[in-house]
Structure 1
């Protein structure tokens, strides 16, 4: 592959790395400040909205970015560094050494971040459910009638794709015959409980979307409108 082709593949790979709290790609959020591809070597620099962004979230993004880039054909050497963050030194060293979160913060961390990641994946799934159902309700569906729908009943859309993808990540039923409205464990929600489930889902969606907008504003305030990737080749 040419350097240009590798660069495009790397950028696409980084687009599949999401902020665990905001459930948006780090590329869309503007967190990838610099990306340099030189042959089989890739270097990336990440910036976050504040100096004190949660170190566990920051660690996940840096580690996920390394894994995503390493999976790109033709890439042999990867360096991802977090900049302008109070825990950047520990995070960068820990990710580079493959030490895990607990190994990166031995005095503070109680363990790895698997449960935290799962918690935010559940929130992302709930928010996706809210987006899908909001669209259906706008088209005239009654709330309780949604309990009878299956994933196969949904029209093709970005919202549907996102919902299915997040169910697959969580190991929840994602086949065409799976119920649309389920709880966090994948159990179908009965008609009389659909409204309650959707109220909760809507609150989660508003929280995630609001936080994403807030973080975009903080990033722009911190670095200005020019915090785009400086080099991609």
Structure 2
């Protein structure tokens, strides 16, 4: 019984850690996107993960950033297990899996596959989009809560922490935006407004509406790509969601939009 309890606890912790890894372009957990097809804790405590992207042609950049996130998540497991990660049905799956078996890091493997790509710049672009998407959700939530634009842009971290939302997107993104803010601007833990631009600039109250319009464009783009990726994966593996026997809008889009192969800027 104790052994089963330990196994269940480890399984939950494994999935919790994997759920903290996001698709870098979409800022959504890879577990919710369906990219982790299997994650299992074996009897000896070792871990096996099967990973599959929505298309055969997904950019190596996306694969690297997500698999590197998986590696970091597995390295944080408290029982420090040996682990095996296998990428399936991708144009670089053989190279990636051979490299992993040879003990190479994901960085070494993908440095060879994406030699001309500045992965640091790619990561920075995706971090910026995630920052903006999370921020927009909270800003809209505060407006809906009745706060004035002047109250919102003047909010500091203590005031932000006590703000409460009904269950929904704003409540979901509130802790995620806080984490993104403090990762980029650690000094805002003790000083400075909560809502600033990606470059750290103050947002005037009379400019908030225009700023929100800019953020909305980022969100719409990310939401569309999220629906596209889910649909691609469902279509590819014959797991279509059908409503009343008819194809969904995502199914219609899949027939007309080429697969994602490079970052959307």
TM-score normalised by length of structure 2: 0.76
- Select which of 15, 33, 38 maps to 1:29: 33
- Select which of 186, 198, 201 maps to 2:212: 198
Structure 2 unmatched ranges of 5 or more: 165-170, 241-265
Matched, 1:67 2:72: yes
Matched, 1:83 2:92: no
Q: Decide whether aligned partners of structure 1 residues 200 and 56 sit closer, same or farther in structure 2, where only a CA change above 3 A counts.
A: same
- Select which of 128, 137, 145 maps to 1:131: 137
| Distance in structure 2 (CA, Å) of the matches to 1:107 and 1:78 | 23
Over residues 21-80 of structure 1, what are the superposed CA-to-partner deviations in whole Å (9 max), with x where a residue is unaligned? 010111111111112211221110011111111111111111211221121122421111
**Count of matched residue positions in the alignment of Structure 1 and Structure 2:** 226
Mean Cα deviation higher: 129-138 or 87-96: 87-96
Q: Secondary structure at the match of 1:82?
A: strand
Match in the other structure for 2:9:
5
Matched, 1:175 2:179: no
Q: Secondary structure at the match of 2:77?
A: coil
Q: Decide whether aligned partners of structure 1 residues 99 and 112 sit closer, same or farther in structure 2, where only a CA change above 3 A counts.
A: farther
Q: Decide whether aligned partners of structure 1 residues 174 and 15 sit closer, same or farther in structure 2, where only a CA change above 3 A counts.
A: farther
| Distance in structure 2 (CA, Å) of the matches to 1:3 and 1:107 | 37
Query: Is residue 157–residue 189 contact of structure 2 (8 Å, CA) maintained in 1?
Result: yes
Query: Is residue 93–residue 104 contact of structure 1 (8 Å, CA) maintained in 2?
Result: no
- Greater RCO structure (CA 8 Å; 6+ sep): 1
| Distance in structure 1 (CA, Å) of the matches to 2:84 and 2:182 | 29
- Select which of 191, 203, 214 maps to 1:189: 203
Q: Secondary structure at the match of 2:31?
A: helix
Mean Cα deviation higher: 119-128 or 190-199: 190-199
Mean Cα deviation higher: 179-188 or 105-114: 105-114
Q: Decide whether aligned partners of structure 1 residues 224 and 173 sit closer, same or farther in structure 2, where only a CA change above 3 A counts.
A: farther
| Distance in structure 2 (CA, Å) of the matches to 1:27 and 1:44 | 12
- Select which of 117, 121, 126 maps to 2:123: 117
Over residues 104-124 of structure 1, what are the superposed CA-to-partner deviations in whole Å (9 max), with x where a residue is unaligned? 343641355222112211110
Question: Greater Rg, structure 1 or structure 2?
Answer: 2
Query: Is residue 196–residue 203 contact of structure 2 (8 Å, CA) maintained in 1?
Result: yes
